[in-house]
Every structure is written in C-alpha cells, then in structure tokens.
Amino acid sequence: MIWAASEAYQYSKEEKYLNLVLDLESWLLGNNDAKSSIYNSSTGVSFDGIISPKEINKNSGAESTIESLLIFLETQKLN
C-alpha cells in the first residue's frame, strides 16, 4: 500500500498521498493499535506484527525487517 501511495504522490504531487505514506510509515513507529513500535531503531530489526491491542509479536524474521527497511527507504525518497 505504501508503494501505491508513493507512486500516486510522485505523479500527482497531491499532499494527501504524501500524508498517507507518512501515516503508513508511522504505523511501524508506534501509531498502531498496540501503541508500540514495530521497528527497533537500536538494532534495525522489525517485529512481525501485532497480536492484540496491547501486544506486539516479538518474532523478527528477515521478511519483516526487510519490508520495514524498504518502507523507510521509500519514505526517505519523498522527503
């Protein structure tokens, strides 16, 4: 979803698409139902997801970490 919003912003320059990209990125940083960061900036690792409104899944496979880092790279490209 973040890549679709990013492409829409790059072609249209409409702020609503940039805001959507930033909102989606913020989900990784704690703007989610669990109010917890999925991304650990100390290690560069991302957790797999949310288990409940109060708990995140602390598994951290390569897929989650790579996807999160790609999201951050995509966002940086727009700033």
Contact present, 15 and 23 (Cβ < 8 Å): no
In the chain, % of residues over pLDDT 90: 97
Closest CA to 79 of 26, 6, 4, 3: 6
pTM of the entire predicted model: 0.87
Indicate the domain borders of the chain.
2-78
pLDDT of res. 30: 96
For range 57-71, the mean pLDDT: 94
Write out the two tokens for 43.
């290690």
**Distance from C-alpha of 42 to C-alpha of 7, rounded to nearest angstrom:** 30
Would you say residue 42 has pLDDT above 90?
yes
Amino acid of residue 71 = I
74: left (phi over 0), alpha (psi -120 to 50) or beta: alpha
Amino acid of residue 14 = E
Read off the pLDDT band of 79 (50, 70, 90): confident
